[in-house]
Every structure is written in C-alpha cells, then in structure tokens.
Amino acid sequence: MAEIQIKNVAKRFGSYQALHDINLTIADQEFMVLLGASGCGKSTLLRIIAGLETQTEGEVWIGGRRIDHLPPRERGIAMVFQNYAVFPHLTVFENIGFGLRMQKLPNDEVKRRVERTAELMHIEQLLGRYSGELSGGQRQRVAVARALAMEPDVILMDEPLSNLDALLRLEMRAELKGVLAESNTTAIYVTHDQVEAMSLADRISVMHEGRIVQAATPVEVYRNPAERFVAGFIGNPPMNFLPAASADGGKWQVAGEIYDGPAAANGVEFAIRPEDIAPADTGLPAKVRLVEPLGAHLLVTCDVDGTMFRAILESDLQVKPGDMLKLAPQTDRIRWFDSSTSLAVA
C-alpha cells in the first residue's frame, strides 16, 4: 500500500512563494499527473516528495508513514529524471543494478532483476553498453528500467519524455503506461504537455502559480474545468470565453442571444469548447476571420461580439474569411465562470 498524502505543503525560495498550501491525496497504484506551465511549481512539488527539496511547511506521507524528514533513499521512491541521469561510467547493466547493489542484494538476485526489467523495457541487448553509446530513447529506457528494478512503492517522473522527438515520445508514452500499469506502483508524473497528461493519467492535478487548481480525471478536467484558468489551459484550442450580461432569473445574454445560466447575482462569463459548436439558423453571430483546414475538421477563427472565438467545424462546410455565420453552442456543454472569482458556477 502506498497512498501518498501531501498535507499543507508550502515552499518559499527567499521571498518567492513557489508552492502555496498544497493538499493532495494520491491513491495506491494511481497514476497521477501534475500538469502546468513551466514555473507553476509542479517540479518543486515532485522534488519535495522525492526528498531532493525540503518543504518550508507541511507534511508528506507515503503508505501511512510520514517521510518528509527522511533522505531520498529512505522514502521508498524511485525517480526518472528529465535528462535521464544515466551514470556515464557504468554499463547499462550496472546502471539498472545500481540501486540493488546499494541494497547489497546478492549477485544472482541483482542479475535476475536487472535482466527482467531490461526485458520489460526491451533493452536486454544493450546491457553491456555505456551511456555514451546509447541514443536518447535508449537512455530513457535505461532510466525507467533503473527505477523499476528498485520495485519502489512510488515512482516519480519529472518530464521524462520531453527530450525525445515526437514519434519516439508517442511510442514511449504508450509503453510507459503499459509497464506502469503492470508494476502496481503509485506513479506521479510531471509534464507540461496536456496530451501526455490526458493519455497517461488516472487523475490530473492542474497546477497554476504554485497552487493545485483542479485534481480530477482527465475527462472531468476537460469537460468541467473548475477554474477559468483550467478551461483556458486544457484543450487545443482551449475553451472560448464570451462576456455575459444578466437578463432575468438565471438567463444570460451572450452576444445578443439568451442562454440559461446560473442563478448567481454576480457577473459571469460564458464558455464553450470549440468542438461543441455547430452552424445553425439561430446562434451566436460570428464573422469569419481565418479558416484552417485540419484534415478531419476545419478550425474556424471568428469574431463574436468583438471577441476572438474559435470553432471546430465539419470539413465539408464551405466558409471563407468575411462570411457571417450563426454558431449554435451545444447547450449541455456550456460552462459558466464567475467573473470575479474565476471559479466555475453551475
């Protein structure tokens, strides 16, 4: 059992507050992705869990044991680094077996575990080589194998795929998901790539300016962003926002059209995903600015009520810049965000 609990963790570097009061529970064997732009504190949080960084406040528990005062080696974790950190003076075999040797396991046990993890990562033919003789993808495999060979309770990954080229990244992503699902370890994975996050995660924690703004399943994060930031960060292109003016009792006027919205008295913003829009006889009046064919779809950038608005439409639709369209949002996919707090309102 390796449930991870992060309780009220804060981190300051001098006067700079990198993390504010982080609370997060990660279930045993869950694959949690920390997602955010660079500088949001996701790597710092991971390094605090690993013990490479010390939190200014708060506690970290793994498997019911408080570990935030322990050095990395006593935390039952293994880590995969962005630049692989494969030891250049050791062979692949000795790299994978490094942690096992530190545990003073007998030679045949080291050999058995190294060979098994090497096989799992398809690098058994590289065991005699040095890191200088490996490609980036192969080094990445060695780094993952080295972590897995430890049979850790928790595996921590800091942007492990960001240095690979696009095709290799796709391949490793699928492989990583399969291998980790079989290994029964709890995984925390840091990335700034939302596609990576979506495809790997059981749950995503979206981070922004040192806070976790939403921790939920990928679909939930995508469909029901808890904050305007999440809505504008997730999705490519992200959600569209339009100002809304209060019309009576839960009705809101958006670009001249009336939609059912929250009963809140505060000002709200209307939001809709680009793919949840279809041309219709009535709807938001949009002036087409730019048409980008994407193969299966058209990405149409329009001007709605003076605001930039993107729609993903069927590719057989005949539109050109300058056309006027009526765009009807799918009403159950409309989301509302409080203008002052930026939080989602129902």
Tell me which residues touch other proteins (CB under 8 A). 50-52, 71-73, 77-79, 81-83, 85, 87-89, 98-99, 102-103, 146, 150, 156
The residues with which 79 forms a beta bridge, in sequence order, are 156
The b/e string for 79-97 (b: 16+ C-beta within 10 A; e otherwise) is bbbbebbbeeeebbbbbbb
Closest approach of other proteins to the CB of residue 78, in Å: 6
- Pick the closer one to other proteins by CB: 46 or 206: 46
Closest approach of other proteins to the CB of residue 102, in Å: 3
Closest approach of other proteins to the CB of residue 26, in Å: 18
Q: Helix (H, G, I), strand (E, B), or coil: what is residue 50?
A: helix
Q: Distance of alpha carbon 87 from its chain centroid, rounded?
A: 28
- Pick the closer one to other proteins by CB: 148 or 198: 148
Closest approach of other proteins to the CB of residue 146, in Å: 7
Phi-psi region of 229 (alpha: psi -120 to 50; beta: other; left: phi over 0): alpha
- Pick the closer one to other proteins by CB: 98 or 337: 98
Question: CB of 49 within 8 A of CB of 188?
Answer: yes
Question: CB of 183 within 8 A of CB of 171?
Answer: no
H/E stretch holding 298: strand 297-304
Closest approach of other proteins to the CB of residue 47, in Å: 8
- Pick the closer one to other proteins by CB: 75 or 335: 75
Closest approach of other proteins to the CB of residue 58, in Å: 21
Q: State the Cα–Cα distance between residues 31 and 24, nearest whole angstrom.
A: 13
- Pick the closer one to other proteins by CB: 36 or 97: 97
DSSP letters for 74-90: GTTEEEE-TT----TTS
H/E stretch holding 65: strand 65-66
- Pick the closer one to other proteins by CB: 72 or 237: 72
